[in-house]
């Protein structure tokens, strides 16, 4: 039951594509993640997933279009929709999704991060 | 399934203490609200409630302490905990909570806003 300062929390880690939990809301979690480069195509069969850009810019590729997001913008990837996040330069993002969601969804990969890591 | 730009959405309304829905995540909603002055003491019996400050600063009074929030900070008020938001100057906030939550919780008031208003 402490407030979260995003800048402070982002200063505590450097690894990419590895979401860190900073708060919970009922059975949902708020996770901070640093992105750079290309992620993999994946989807989440059971849930939507919210991306809010805190710093920098990124793209979320969908099969039929690309959503470009900059600081102060958000997008919700609907349940079951394949997506591939990417960022040319390091981008800081807040994710909101149910507790237990794995970053690579249905696509196990070397990019699959340890889940439920708090900072 | 469109992205949301917070600055653009905040430009679309001026009323205070009247949350506007901008996106949904499963059975949760993202709401933008402009705050200035003092809200009322209330609680939400069935849910936590997340506050993320997008611009400006605000305070969330709890019965035993006050949480001060500035841009880039968030706080989750736990289920059932009495709180009173206030802001000296206009503050722009993103709320995240389950669909159907009323802004004044268990405390009906002239500040009770119409629910589920999208912009």
Give chain A positions within 8 Å (CB) of B3: 67-69, 73-75
Q: What pLDDT, on a 0 to 100 scale, did the predictor assign at position A31?
A: 98
Spatial CB neighbours of A37, under 8 Å, sequence gap ≥ 6: A16, A86, A87
DSSP state at residue A6: H
* Cβ A62 vs Cβ A51: under 8 Å: no
Q: CB contact, 8 Å: A30 with chain B? A: yes
Mean pLDDT of B40-67: 97
User: How many Cα atoms are found within 13 Å in the side-chain-facing hemisphere of A2?
Assistant: 6
Closest-approach residue (CA) in chain A for B53: A5
Q: What pLDDT, on a 0 to 100 scale, did the predictor assign at position A1?
A: 83
B66, pLDDT greater than 90: yes
Distance CA(B69)–CA(B51), nearest Å, equals: 9
* Tens-level pLDDT at each residue, chain A (119 residues): 899 999 999 999 999 999 999 999 999 999 999 999 999 999 999 999 999 999 999 999 999 999 999 999 999 999 999 999 999 999 999 999 999 999 999 998 999 999 999 99
B97, pLDDT greater than 90: yes
Domain A20-98 has CATH 3.90.228.20: no
Distance CA(A73)–CA(B37), nearest Å, equals: 27
The beta-carbon neighbor of B3 closest among A25, A69, A98 is A69
Render pLDDT for B67-95 as a digit per residue (tens, 0 to 9).
999 999 999 999 999 999 999 999 999 99
- ipTM (interface pTM): 0.96
* Cβ A78 vs Cβ B11: under 8 Å: no
Q: CB contact, 8 Å: A65 with chain B? A: no
Read off the pLDDT band of B37 (50, 70, 90): very high
Partner-chain contact B26 A47, CB within 8 Å: yes
Q: What pLDDT, on a 0 to 100 scale, did the predictor assign at position B25?
A: 98
Mean pLDDT of B41-56: 97
Read off the pLDDT band of B1 (50, 70, 90): confident
Give chain A positions within 8 Å (CB) of B68: 3
Mean pLDDT of B3-21: 98
B51, pLDDT greater than 90: yes
Using CA atoms, how far residue A24 sits from A79, A108, B22, in Å, is 20, 25, 21
The beta-carbon neighbor of B69 closest among A3, A54, A74 is A3
The encoded tokens of residue A13 equal: 């880690």
* Cβ A74 vs Cβ A51: under 8 Å: yes
Mean pLDDT of B93-115: 94
* Cβ B32 vs Cβ B10: under 8 Å: yes
Mutation target for B interface from A7, A27, A28: give the one with most B CBs within 10 A.
A28
Distance CA(B90)–CA(B55), nearest Å, equals: 9
Spatial CB neighbours of A113, under 8 Å, sequence gap ≥ 6: A17, A18, A19, A102, A103, A104
The encoded tokens of residue B18 equal: 């009247």
Mutation target for A interface from B9, B31, B46, B74: give the one with most A CBs within 10 A.
B74
Work out the number of other CB atoms within 10 angstroms of the CB of residue A40: 17
């Amino acid at each position: 039951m402490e407030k979260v300062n995003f800048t402070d929390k982002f200063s505590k880690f450097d690894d990419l594509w590895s979401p860190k939990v900073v708060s919970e809301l009922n059975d949902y979690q708020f996770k901070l993640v640093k992105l750079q480069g290309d992620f993999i195509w994946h989807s989440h069969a059971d849930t939507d997933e919210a991306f809010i850009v805190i710093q920098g810019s990124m793209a979320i590729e969908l099969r039929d279009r690309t959503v470009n997001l900059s600081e102060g913008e958000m997008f919700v990837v609907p349940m079951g929709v394949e997506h591939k996040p990417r960022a040319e330069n390091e981008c800081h993002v807040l994710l909101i999704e149910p507790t237990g969601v794995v970053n690579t969804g249905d696509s196990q990969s070397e990019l699959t991060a340890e889940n439920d890591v708090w900072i």
